[in-house]
Amino acid sequence: MTIHDYAKKLHEIGIDDPTRFQDEAFARNLGLYSIEEQDRISEARVVIPGLGGVGGLHLISLVRCGFRRFRLADPDSFELVNINRQFGASVATRGRPKLEVMSETAASINPFVEIEPFPEGVTEANLDAFLADADVVVDSLDFFEFDIRRRLFMRARELGVPVITAGPLGFSTALLVFTPDSMSFDEYFDVQDGLPMEQCYLRFAMGLSPRGVHFRYVDSTKVDLKGRAGPSSYIACQLCAAAASMEAARIVLGRPGLRPTPGYLQYDAYRGQLCKGRLRGGNRNPLQRLKLALAGKLLLARRKRIGHEAPDTPKGPFTAADLSPAGVRYLAAAGAAAPSGDNVQPWRFTPVPGGMRVRMAAEADTSFFNVRQIATLIACGAAAENMAVAAPDLGLAASVEVLPEPEADGGVAVVRFSDGGREDFLAPAVWSRCTNRMDFSARPLSPGIRARLAREVESVPGCRLHFVEGKDALTRLADVVFKADRIRTEHRGLHEHFVKMVRFSREEAEQTRDGLPLKNLYGGAAGEMFLRLTRPWPVMRAANALGMGKVVAAHARKGILHSGACCLLTAPGLAARDFAAGGRALERCWLRLTRVGLAMQPMTAVTLFRLRWDLEGPEAFSAPHQALLSELWSEYDALFPAADFGREGQVMLFRVGYGKPVRFGTFRKDPDAFLG
């Protein structure tokens, strides 16, 4: 419905005059405001830059207070990711412009609202027009839109317009008011030209909340200043709207009690705590400087993972028919971010009309583990899925076609693109997904988490996920893995391949950009020394004779015991296409568990040994290892009673749980190395 439709409804009951509507619709404000004050509120001009988390609620709260003259700016549309906190976000409004939806909503409350829209958002070019004749600015820009926020505050100060900012932090609101006579934005937050953007974000957050009431319960690992992401709640947004609306009315009416900067206020609903005071000197306050240093160490220093990083998303537009070199490189980088055995990166990508072919680079991995190139097929399936998940970043939809048989040049799949892709929830995990070899919490997986992981796997037809949970079952599996992993150190070919792929220095890892950096193995100082000493096979053989090789297997056993669960992913068959499809399912599962905050480590030795045993026979192993494995298989099979190993392909066994984030990741080669 339009504003005219709402006005028509009022006309039907005899109301055609804004004053008459005001007197009736806002009668319950009387006693809090006088008639004269209600009139002043009605005539005041409020500008709201941004209609997202707090902006939409600010608008609705102010309209219900009786404000009706607005300038609104927002260039974005509602998406599903907005539903948890943004007033106008719903399934019905997905894809619609926020400005359009919120203007309609305001008009449905008061058909006499006057809205001047700025659909391009607030920019340097329209800043003066946006602020002209404003009585108050209610800042609602996204937390990470720092540069334009700073310009907005500076220009408002020059024009003599007060600015209110209320930030949703945890389950709290943090309120600041800037007036022409108070500390300026730059003075209070202690920012200046040339300051790194992550420092700007940090200073803005710390200045908003000098006491940091919410820090005690917010999971700081979910705060990513570089990735411009963090938790936000509707509870906090509602508190922000209430606090900001009160200050807007106070300013317009000239009521007493205004506490401009360096005054601050934070109310936390979760802790039931109110903090208010004056941060003298703003962020330059000596105690505040100390807090900034500590917060910087917590949020900035530890957040940067050593290894490959997400590339900047290239600017389009892109179409399926014309990806452009930048689009092709971005998708190749996404494909290369997939997992592969020992990070050998065994793939090649060839652009084709409307898509990308994924080919095996069989020469990249000829190890004993990679029986019939099955590990390569799995890796290529994961790479194809990564491209499909990342394609919406370029505005494209994507589907993956796994070929019936590998082609002569190694082709195993084609990722096909079409125009008009919707943002994929899994996409951020393409770049943050990693192997975590540290101990996890033994906290069991909830039914909801298990269902999410199984749903991702089963989205690839025929693929299934089998769970091993509970102390007794995990102990039995740990014993199986311990026995199988002994072979890793006792088999010369496996040992020599592994040490060939370990990068024993940071410089070597950055130069080759493949393999496993030593720190990524998380073996500790003793483990790293053991690996260095046993690089030559004669030394490792001597260590095995002394029983020291069992230490490596014991580490794998310990990992199983320090997990919430273990999972075996199976494919519908044993053909090449089945393992490529299994790679797709594996990657979707891994991306999902990354997005829900779980850690994961592949435990591939036992599954790859079983595949070689089943496909090539026991003779592929030495006599002692044949004896060990033949006793092992019945124990292993009993842990997965629903699996049919004669028909289903084993894609990967892995452990999952809640763990600390990885500091040392792995690297990836330049995308151009895989194109052709």
Which element (helix H / strand E) includes 553? helix 550-561
For residues 288 and 205, give the distance between their C-alpha atoms in angstroms, rounded to a whole number.
12
Residue 14, CB-side half-sphere exposure with 13 Å CA sphere: 1
The length of the chain is 676
Dig out the tokens for 662 from the structure: 């990885």
For residues 327 and 356, give the distance between their C-alpha atoms in angstroms, rounded to a whole number.
11
- Cα 603 to its chain centre, rounded Å, is 25
What is the signed CA dihedral for 564, 568, 569, 572, rounded to 10 degrees?
-150
Q: Which strands form 565-571's sheet, in the order they lie side by side?
A: 464-468, 565-571, 649-657, 599-602
* Domain spanning 3-183+232-279, CATH architecture: 3-Layer(aba) Sandwich (3.40)
Question: How much is the pLDDT for 158?
Answer: 97
**Stated pTM of the model:** 0.86
User: Letter for the amino acid at 446?
Assistant: S
What is the signed CA dihedral for 241, 247, 251, 254, rounded to 10 degrees?
130
DSSP 300: I
Which element (helix H / strand E) includes 650? strand 649-657
What are the structural domain ranges in the chain? 3-183+232-279, 324-429, 437-673
The SS3 assignment for 597 reads coil
For residues 585 and 338, give the distance between their C-alpha atoms in angstroms, rounded to a whole number.
12
Q: Is the distance from CB of 435 to CB of 601 less than 8 angstroms?
A: yes
Pairing mode, strands 464-468 and 565-571: antiparallel
Question: How much is the pLDDT for 303?
Answer: 57
Helices (H), 261-390: 286-296, 324-336, 374-390
pLDDT digits (tens, 9 = 90+) for 586-641: 999 999 999 999 999 999 999 999 999 999 999 999 999 999 999 999 999 999 99
Strand partners, 115: 70
The SS3 assignment for 72 reads strand
Residue 446: partners with Cβ closer than 8 Å, 6 or more residues away: none
CATH number, domain 324-429: 3.40.109.10
Q: Which residues of the chain have pLDDT under 50?
A: none
Helices (H), 138-278: 146-159, 185-189, 197-208, 234-253
Question: Which residue from 306, 393, 357, 349 is spatially nearest to 670, judged by alpha carbons?
Answer: 349
Q: Is the distance from CB of 521 to CB of 531 less than 8 angstroms?
A: yes
DSSP letters, 364-416, are G--STTSGGGHHHHHHHHHHHHHHHHHGGGGTEEEEEEE-SS--TT-EEEEEE
pLDDT digits (tens, 9 = 90+) for 227-284: 677 889 999 999 999 999 999 999 999 999 999 999 999 999 999 999 999 999 999 9
User: Letter for the amino acid at 118?
Assistant: F
What is the signed CA dihedral for 113, 118, 122, 123, rounded to 10 degrees?
-150
Quote the strand ranges of 66-149, DSSP E. 69-73, 114-118, 136-139
Dig out the tokens for 79 from the structure: 């998406």
For residues 660 and 462, give the distance between their C-alpha atoms in angstroms, rounded to a whole number.
33
- Cα 519 to its chain centre, rounded Å, is 24
Question: How much is the pLDDT for 301?
Answer: 58
For residues 398 and 117, give the distance between their C-alpha atoms in angstroms, rounded to a whole number.
35
CA distances from 521 to 434, 485, 564, 601 (A): 12, 15, 20, 11
The SS3 assignment for 484 reads helix
- Cα 53 to its chain centre, rounded Å, is 18
For residues 462 and 648, give the distance between their C-alpha atoms in angstroms, rounded to a whole number.
9
Question: Which residue from 356, 354, 374, 355 is spatially nearest to 366, judged by alpha carbons?
Answer: 374
DSSP letters, 486-526, are HHHHH-HHHHHHHHHHEE-SHHHHHHH--SEEGGGG--HHH
Residue 195, CB-side half-sphere exposure with 13 Å CA sphere: 17
**Domain 3-183+232-279 and domain 324-429 have a common topology:** no
* Topology (CATH level 3) of domain 437-673: NADH Oxidase (3.40.109)
